Structure 1
Amino acid sequence: MDALEPLFDRNLDCHMCRHKFTSKKLRSKFVKVDSYDTDFCPSYKEEEINGLLYNIYVCPKCGFSFSDDFSKYFPPGTKEEIQAKICNQWSPQDFGGIRTIEDSIKTYKLAAYCAGLKKEKYIVTAGLYLRIAWLYRLLKNKDQECRFLKIAIANYNESYSRDDFKGTQVSEVRILYLLGELSRRVEDIEKAVKFFSMVIERQNRSVETTLVEMARDRWHDIREQQKKAN
């Protein structure tokens, strides 16, 4: 009997043009996380078995790119805009095989562009930009990591102000923590302190005690750094 491979071909229908295609996906049993950064970026035990690389599906026929978080609903006018700005410009290419980090960054950028045109929830778009930043972190490209962290912050801010994270797996405490931590990473310390304080204020009505503790730890780290600087 053949040994089970980490990657398998997932059968998909393009949400945009209904073209049937396959895209590699990692079997969850092979995904082994070693640790997480303070913004939840995972470090995998084996670099080539990286769960981040295969989250996006790119239709090889029309170029529409999406993840499992995308809704299948297209608001009025969005299909026409995607047709004009993506499908009509698309040179057929296939991202359905084994991906490098650079390949994966391209797929996330395509998905983020599609999400914007499709008017996906800001919480979905924020997650795409955050993962682009994580992939640049793996490449040790600090400038691009910081650039995409800032775009992720802008989208998380929109999501929080519009409440569009409600009904998703992202809670209010988690989005506030992320806003604090990403702000800290781009050295917007005033905003970081503000959002971490908002998490700590919710400690009595939140079941996510680990996030509250993480916010408290980050808040104390910032205060200690400020004391040393003074």
Structure 2
Amino acid sequence: MENLDPIFDRNVECPLCKTKFTSKKIRSKFIKVERYESDFCPIYKEGHVNGLLYNIYVCPDCGFSFSDDFSKYFPPGTKEEIINKVSSNWVPQNFGGHRTIEDAIKTYKLACYCAELKKEKHIVTAGLYLRIAWLYRLLENIEQEKRFMKIAIHHYYESYSTDDFRGTQVSEVRILYLLGELSRRIGEIDQAVKYFSMVIERQSRTVETKIVDMARERWYEIRDMQKQEDVINE
């Protein structure tokens, strides 16, 4: 029996210019996650393909870049904006083959730009920026990781403020937790405490008890760290 390749060609149609192309995807049975970090970054088992690398489709003809989370709807004027700012400057290139981490970062950055021009929901754009941060973490580029975490925080906050996450798989508790954890990771401790407290306050109104437990753990860690700092400074 022939061995099944973990990566296959998926047929895609560009929502903008209707060009048909192929893009690599990973068969779900081959995605093996060993654990998740405290901001939900997946750590894949050694020797297995990183599932983050192939989430973005890049049209080789017009440059429009998107994920499965993008809506099919283009608000009035956004198609023209994308054509003017992306397609008219696009140097034809193909991201449909095997990708390195650096390749994947380029595709996510293109998708972020297209998402902003298309006026995608903040919850979608936030997820793209967070994944760029995760990929920079793999490259051990702390400066760029934190830079993109800050942008993700902005979009998660806008999503929370405008309720645009409603109807998606992302809950209010998860957004608040991510706001807290990403704030903690970039050193904004007061903001982190505020958001973790908001998660804990909602413990009786959510079924996502694991996230509440994670927020409580982070909150205690911060409190213990601050106590130690107070002792040192006495």
TM range (shorter): over 0.9
Considering only aligned residues, what root-mean-square deviation do their CA atoms show, in Å?
Answer: 0.7
CA distance in 1, matches of 2:110, 2:36: 26
Matches within 5 A, 1:75-86: 75-86=75-86
Matches within 5 A, 1:58-207: 58-207=58-207
Note the alpha carbon deviations across 1:27-47, whole angstroms, 9 max, x for none: 000000111110000111135
CA distance in 2, matches of 1:47, 1:103: 19
Question: Secondary structure at the residue paired with 2:216?
Answer: helix
Distance 1:68 1:180, change over 3 A: same
Q: Are the counterparts in 1 of residues 31 and 48 from structure 2 also a CA contact under 8 Å?
A: no
Q: Are the counterparts in 1 of residues 32 and 48 from structure 2 also a CA contact under 8 Å?
A: no
Match of 2:25 in 1: 25
CA distance in 2, matches of 1:20, 1:204: 48
Q: Are the counterparts in 1 of residues 176 and 195 from structure 2 also a CA contact under 8 Å?
A: yes
CA distance in 2, matches of 1:162, 1:103: 33
Matches within 5 A, 1:1-16: 1-16=1-16
CA distance in 1, matches of 2:44, 2:22: 25
Count of aligned pairs: 230
Note the alpha carbon deviations across 1:163-202, whole angstroms, 9 max, x for none: 0000000000000000000000001001000000000000
CA distance in 2, matches of 1:49, 1:11: 20
Could you tell me which amino acid in structure 2 is paired with residue 120 of structure 1? E
Question: Secondary structure at the residue paired with 2:68?
Answer: coil
Could you tell me which amino acid in structure 2 is paired with residue 131 of structure 1? R
Identity of aligned residues (%): 73
Question: Secondary structure at the residue paired with 2:72?
Answer: coil
Flag structure 1 segments of 5+ consecutive residues without an equivalent: none
CA distance in 2, matches of 1:91, 1:104: 18
Q: Are the counterparts in 1 of residues 30 and 48 from structure 2 also a CA contact under 8 Å?
A: no
Q: CA deviation at 1:77?
A: 0.2
Using structure 1 for the length normalisation, give the TM-score: 0.99
Q: Which runs of 4+ in 1 moved over 6 A?
A: none
Flag structure 2 segments of 5+ consecutive residues without an equivalent: none
CA distance in 1, matches of 2:46, 2:156: 30
